Amino acid sequence: MPLVVSRFVVSWLLVLAAGPAVGVTAQAVHGGSSSPPLVRPNVVWLSVEDMSPWLACYGDRTVATPNIDRLAAEGVRFSNAFATTPVCAPARSALITGCFATRIGTMQMRNNSPSKSAIAKNPDAYREIPGYEGLPPAFVRCFPELLRANGYYCTNASKKDYQFREPATVWDASGGKAHWRNRASGQPFFAVFNHGGTHESQAFPKARRRPRAIDPDKVPLPPFYPDTPAVRDAMARTYDNIAAMDVWVGKRLAELEEAGLLESTVVMFFSDHGVGLPRGKRSCYDTGTRVPLLVRLPGGRLAGTVEPRVVSFVDFGPAVLSLCGIEPDERLDGVPFLGPHARQGSGFAFCHADRFDAVYDRVRSVSDGRFRYVRNYLPELPYLIPNAYRENLPMTADLYALRERGAERPEQWQMAAKRRPREELYDSSSDPWEVVNLCDRPEHQERLASLRRTLDDWIAATGDLGFVLPETRLVREKIWPPDGKQPQTPGAKISRLDELIVLQCDDPGASIGYRRVGGKPRRRFMVYTKAFLPVAGADYEILTHRIGHRPTRVRHTVTDR
């Protein structure tokens, strides 16, 4: 049985996780000044898509997952980890920035990439929806850029989908072939590997079937689903995909072991939100937002323990920075829960649901790990709003039919409802599927009032942009004022300091990068942190890019002074 560790003890012990017995030495450079050499770990993210904690280490033994079981046995299992939204792109914007999507204008699903399924069903679906990018405050950077500025080699294989075009300074390499193996000798690394085999689309009829891990006739069904062949097929394929994903995890761990790097690397395994089936993905319940999070620390530290503190996607980037010896900006929404800069968070996980493809929803939710409060701002909608992409799942038609004929048992009331209550309250400990609404129970009125206030305070503190509608108004007033046109990042100002080149930008929110022009393969942009010594007579390309604005590139030829 796993050891449950108190919040205080885990926070204290995790500070030791970045201790001198771990990692490799690299010179930290930031803001033009040198810091003492730090011994820092490598960090690997194993990110999977559309998956709830339906795993043996979380109590679900439907299919075998030996490699994930190993991670849990050798690491820390977080029992209260949450996505900030039950859909991928807004969640990824929170992961990469440490900011809530509702603060930076990335809460509407695919604000710059219309759904092909929605357009195929209705060519006019996006006629009133503009394309735009999110706009974080000027102090915000995509956190891998800060790692690169401090000597880390950063790779992403390969999904991005951040709701904005990331600056070219964020990754050393991003794509299907990006890998930590390509770093300089002895260079610490941060590497993201993304697995799409558990994605919602992988349960579509045309998707490749993985080896059968569970018989559809024996697969367990959540109580809110009808028992139909299509539902059983979707559930079984979901578990088949989880079993296949476990093999992928094993391969990633084997790569580190074979290179002799597993004991100098922090491995974080998580999913980008809950299960990709209806009432999971796009729903502000545990099935849509509670995610697995396993963290394997070098040297067997805290192996087999369970950490109950509430952590959220906005915390993941700050945690990686802290692990790597970098103190995150305290103005971020996220709080580091690992490494020497770890500190306690609020104890709450906040969640939002807004436009999904071309159809609007608006839900806000907060969980303390046990009790979840849900506020429905569009109570006139059913729970299962129309979604052309989701309708590729045959089971969706069975749920529409259930709504028309009415619930067959009490647990199906949400699926059968044509309207929603304005408020919902659930005890996810005694009611893990969250189907018993406690809002009217006298014994829960004090807790209900407290969670109401907590949610109101969060909405006010983040300046929730999901309420700025229509989106044309959002773009004109908040993202790209005053005319809704995307600004251009100012070009770099280039000067000389003796033999060194100095770069500046008038926009304090701009990332600055540079690279020498010529040669093959094409050189990546280096993150500018301080004046650098150029090659005489060489041409350089200088990049300035404020997230949400258009980037600017200028050429500069180095001449003798």
User: Which residues participate in catalysis according to the annotation?
Assistant: 88
| Contact (Cβ atoms closer than 8 angstroms) between residue 59 and residue 211 | no
Give how far the C-alpha of residue 47 lies from the chain's centroid of Cα atoms, to the nearest Å.
9
Q: Which residue has the tokens 């509430």?
A: 310
Which ranges constitute the DSSP H helices of 212-354?
A: 229-258, 286-289, 313-323
| SS3 category, 442 | helix
Cβ contacts of residue 440 below 8 Å, gap of 6+? none
DSSP 290: E
Beta carbons within 10 angstroms of residue 223's beta carbon: 11
| SS3 category, 272 | coil
Q: How is residue 164 written in tokens?
A: 């904005």
Q: How is residue 72 written in tokens?
A: 């849990």
Beta strands in 428-499 (DSSP E): 493-497
Judged by phi (left if over 0) then psi (alpha if -120 to 50, else beta), residue 436 lies in beta
Q: Name the nearest CA neighbour of 294 among 84, 62, 48, 68.
A: 68
Q: How is residue 174 written in tokens?
A: 């991003």
* Residue 73, Cβ density class (10 Å: 0-12 exposed, 13-18 middle, ≥19 buried): middle
Measured distance CA(134)–CA(548) in Å, rounded: 5
Measured distance CA(439)–CA(456) in Å, rounded: 17
Measured distance CA(537)–CA(516) in Å, rounded: 11
CA-based R_g, the chain, Å: 24
Beta carbons within 10 angstroms of residue 359's beta carbon: 16
Q: Quick one: CA torsion of 471, 472, 474, 479, rounded to 10 degrees?
A: 120
Beta carbons within 10 angstroms of residue 276's beta carbon: 29
DSSP 307: E
Q: How many residues does the chain have?
A: 561
Handedness of CA 77, 79, 84, 85 (dihedral sign): positive
Q: Name the nearest CA neighbour of 355 among 86, 14, 45, 34.
A: 86
Measured distance CA(561)–CA(555) in Å, rounded: 18
Instruction: Give the CA angle between residues 507, 510, 512 to the nearest 5°.
Output: 120
Cβ contacts of residue 160 below 8 Å, gap of 6+? 92, 166, 174
For the chain, the helix, strand and coil percentages under 3-state DSSP, each to the nearest 5? 30, 20, 50
Beta carbons within 10 angstroms of residue 25's beta carbon: 12
Strand-pair category, 510-516 with 526-527:
antiparallel
